[in-house]
Amino acid sequence: MTDSPPADAPTEPTLPVAKPYSPGLEGVVAGDTSLSYIDGAAGRLLYRGYRIGDLVERGTYPAVANLLWTGEWDPKHRLPTAAVPGPVIDVLRAIPSNAKPMDALRTAVSAWGSTQELPWPPTVEQARALTAFSPSALAAFARLRSGEQPIDPDPELDLTTGFLYQLTGERPDPGTARALDAYFIVGAEHGFNASTFTARVITSTRSDIASAVAGAIGTMKGPLHGGAPTEVVDQLAKVGSVEHAEEWVRDALARGERLMGFGHRVYRAYDPRAAALRKVAEGMEHKPDWLQMAIEVEDVALRILAEKHPERPLRTNVEYYAAPVLMGVGLAPDLFPATFSLARHAGWTAHALEQAANNRLIRPDVNYIGPEERDLPG
Q: Contact residues for ligand ACO (CB under 6 A)?
A: 24, 224-225, 228, 258-265, 309, 312, 314, 317-319
Residue pair 351/362 in contact by the 8 Å Cβ criterion: no
The secondary element (H helix, E strand) that includes residue 39 is strand 36-39
179 vs 259 by CB, closer to ligand ACO: 259
Bridge partners, residue 262, by sequence: 316
309 catalytic, yes or no? no
208 vs 319 by CB, closer to ligand ACO: 319
How far is it, in rounded angstroms, from Cα 275 to Cα 57? 12
Q: Which of 77, 190, 231, 264 is catalytic?
A: 264
Q: Cα-flanking dihedrals φ and ψ of residue 170, to 5°? A: -125, 145
Burial category of 62 from C-beta neighbours within 10 Å (exposed 0-12, middle 13-18, buried 19 and up): buried
Q: Report in angstroms how near the CB of residue 312 gets to ligand ACO at its nearest.
A: 5
Q: Report in angstroms how near the CB of residue 262 gets to ligand ACO at its nearest.
A: 4
300 vs 314 by CB, closer to ligand ACO: 314
172 vs 229 by CB, closer to ligand ACO: 229
| Of the candidates 247, 257, 262, the residue with the CA atom closest to the CA atom of residue 306 | 262
319 catalytic, yes or no? yes
Sequence-distant contacts of 4-10: CB under 8 A, at least 24 apart: 4/375
CB contact burial 275-303 (16+ within 10 A = b; e otherwise): bbbbebbeebeebbebbebbbebbebbbe
Q: Cα-flanking dihedrals φ and ψ of residue 221, to 5°? A: -65, -25
| Residue with the CB atom nearest ligand ACO in the bound state | 263
Bridge partners, residue 37, by sequence: 46
How far is it, in rounded angstroms, from Cα 162 to Cα 176? 12
88 vs 259 by CB, closer to ligand ACO: 259
Q: Report in angstroms how near the CB of residue 200 gets to ligand ACO at its nearest.
A: 17
Q: Which of 319, 345, 351, 354 is catalytic?
A: 319
Q: Report in angstroms how near the CB of residue 93 gets to ligand ACO at its nearest.
A: 31
Q: Which residues are CB-neighbours of 82 under 8 A, at least 6 positions away? A: 129, 132, 133, 136, 153
Q: Report in angstroms how near the CB of residue 257 gets to ligand ACO at its nearest.
A: 7
Q: Report in angstroms how near the CB of residue 212 gets to ligand ACO at its nearest.
A: 18
107 vs 230 by CB, closer to ligand ACO: 230
Residues known to be catalytic: 264, 319
